[in-house]
């Protein structure tokens, strides 16, 4: 009975996975950067069973970090989705216009490729340091709610006064 039930559940998960939208995309944190800084490039596979991820040749960049891989799965309202991401921190070697060439993966349907992305690198005579924007999808329950005056927070918790001890000499 357990074997039949587990087979049904596994089969249902594979069927649910096949209905999800399939994507292979690439995103960069900045497409314009000052020399001496770095940016993040992320290749994302959504609902794709793939093998042999082939990153592009990063010949115009120094790889600061990567490949960093993350995986996530969710099952919401009867629909399963899976996401695999490969990210790199790259630092351009020189000023100019460069491209992140397509990455590719082998899937059951064939080989998929990402689109190339243009990166503009500008001189940085003042050695300005740029921060990488945080593009994580995080849930913030207080997003858009900045009126905390509605809540009464005590300005200071009142402590009970300490009892004074009297010492009697006998």
Assess if residue 136 is contained within a domain: no
Assess if residue 118 is contained within a domain: yes
| pLDDT of the chain, 170 residues: tens digit per residue | 444 433 334 444 444 444 467 888 999 999 999 999 999 999 999 988 777 889 999 999 999 998 999 988 888 888 888 888 999 999 999 999 999 999 999 888 888 899 999 999 999 888 888 887 665 544 455 555 555 555 555 555 566 666 777 777 77
| Token duo for residue 131 | 């921060």
Spatial distance between the Cα atoms of 37 and 128, rounded to a whole number of angstroms: 8
**Residue 5: its pLDDT value, please?**
38
CATH of the domain at 27: 2.60.40.10
Helix (H, G, I), strand (E, B) or coil at 79: strand
Buried b (16+ CB within 10 A) or exposed e, 69-106: eeeeeeeeeeebbbbbbbbbbbbbeeeeebebbbbbbe
Assess if residue 156 is contained within a domain: no
Contacts of 25 (CB under 8 A, 6+ apart): 43, 44, 46, 114
Assess if residue 155 is contained within a domain: no
**Residue 20: its pLDDT value, please?**
64
Spatial distance between the Cα atoms of 10 and 12, rounded to a whole number of angstroms: 5
Contacts of 95 (CB under 8 A, 6+ apart): 35, 121, 122, 123
Number of domains in the chain: 1
Contacts of 69 (CB under 8 A, 6+ apart): 84, 85, 86, 87
Identify the domain containing residue 112 by its residue range. 2-125
**Rounded to two decimals, what is the model's pTM?**
0.65
Assess if residue 150 is contained within a domain: no
């Amino acid at each position: 009975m357990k074997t039949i039930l587990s087979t049904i559940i596994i089969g249902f998960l594979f069927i649910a996975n096949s209905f999800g939208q399939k994507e292979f995309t690439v995103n960069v944190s900045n497409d314009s950067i000052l020399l001496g800084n770095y940016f993040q490039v992320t290749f994302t596979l959504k609902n794709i069973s793939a093998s042999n991820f082939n990153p592009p040749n990063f010949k115009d960049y120094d790889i600061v970090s990567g490949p960093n891989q993350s995986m996530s799965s969710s099952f919401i309202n009867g629909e399963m989705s899976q996401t695999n991401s490969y990210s790199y921190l790259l630092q351009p070697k020189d000023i100019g216009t460069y491209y992140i060439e397509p990455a590719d993966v082998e899937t059951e349907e064939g080989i998929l490729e990402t689109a190339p992305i243009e990166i503009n690198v500008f001189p940085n005579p003042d050695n300005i340091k740029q921060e990488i924007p945080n593009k994580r999808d995080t849930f913030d329950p207080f997003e858009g709610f900045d009126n905390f005056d509605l809540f009464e927070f005590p300005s200071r918790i009142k402590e009970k006064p300490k009892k004074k001890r009297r010492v009697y000499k006998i």
